[in-house]
Amino acid sequence: MVFERMNPVFVNLQYLIITVMKQKEIVTLQRSLLPDTEALLNKQVEMEGKSSAYYLSMASWCHMMGYANAAKYLYTHADEERMHMMKIFQYINEAGGHAIQPEITGVRHNFNSLREVFELILEHEIKVTKSINSIVDHAFTAKDFATFSFMQWYVTEQREEETMSRRALELFEIIGEEGIGLWTIDQELGKLHAAAETGA
């Protein structure tokens, strides 16, 4: 037979490939993460990654413009968003899925004012909240209670993120931007950042 005349090394390699493929099928069948849930989570990974890049760009602009406390606030915020991304990234893989490294493009680098920066932050955080809520709703409907439980941390975190963003934006209305207003706002942003860091 042709099979008998084949190189034993080649035959062994074929057997090894088939064995590995079968094992891979078993792993895939045993995964607890549904494909549509995985897709939503990977979309959230991308959103969190873009958030980190977006806030880092804002921090750089604030630094360049002399808003030292706003820059510090946003540098920290950028780090937090990356941590949010990594938590989901690792969860996907641990649940048997395949986390995808997001491609980050189109990040804005210049802004018209400090006020605009914080208006954009609040607008973005509201979008993130809606995205988180859609994942939670999907997980509950699909009876994926592991993902539902995992995402509760993000629900609480987004409540805090939105509150912080609103407090920051309110400073512009309370203090005003005339005279030393922007300097005062930057000082207050430093206090807001310190309070968030200590959990006060």
- Measuring CA to CA, which residue among 102, 105, 107 is closest to residue 120? 107
The answer on whether 124 is annotated among ligand-binding residues is no
192, 159 Cβ separation under 8 angstroms: no
171, 181 Cβ separation under 8 angstroms: no
DSSP for residue 66? T
- Measuring CA to CA, which residue among 147, 158, 139, 23 is closest to residue 80? 158
The answer on whether 125 is annotated among ligand-binding residues is yes
Q: Position 4: which residue type? A: E
The answer on whether 84 is annotated among ligand-binding residues is yes
List binding-site positions for Fe cation.
48, 81, 84, 125, 158
- Residues belonging to the binding site are 48, 81, 84, 125, 158
